[in-house]
Structure 1
Amino acid sequence: MDPHVLHNPELSRYELWLGEEKIGHADYVFVGDEMQFPHTEVDPAHQGKNYAAILMREAFADVREKNLGKVWPVCPYVVTYMKRHPETHDLLARELN
Structure 2
Amino acid sequence: MTDTPAVTVRDDPERGVFLAVLDDGTEAGGAYYRHADGVVTFTHTEVPSDYEGQGVGSTLARGALDAVRERGERVVAECPFIKAYVERHPEYQDLLAG
Is the TM-score greater than 0.5?
yes
**Which aligned pairs between 1:73-88 and structure 2 lie closer than 5 A?**
73-88=77-92
| Identical columns (%) | 33
Note the residue ranges of structure 2 that are not aligned, 5 or more in a row. none
Question: Offset of 1:32 from its aligned partner?
Answer: 4.3
Looking at secondary structure, tell me which structure has more helix per residue: 1
Question: Does the alignment pair 1:8 with 2:12?
Answer: yes
Residue 48 (structure 1) aligns with: 53
Does the alignment pair 1:39 with 2:39? no
The aligned counterpart of 1:17 is 21
Report the TM-score, using the length of structure 1 for normalisation: 0.89
- C-alpha RMSD of matched pairs (Å): 1.2
Letter in 2 for 1:14: F
Runs of 4+ in 1 over 4 A off after TM superposition: none
Unaligned runs of 5+ in 1: none
Normalised TM-score (structure 2): 0.88
Aligned residues: 93
In 2: Cα distance, 1:66 partner to 1:35 partner: 11
CA distance in 2, matches of 1:13, 1:35: 10
Asked if 1:29 is matched to 2:34, the reply is: yes
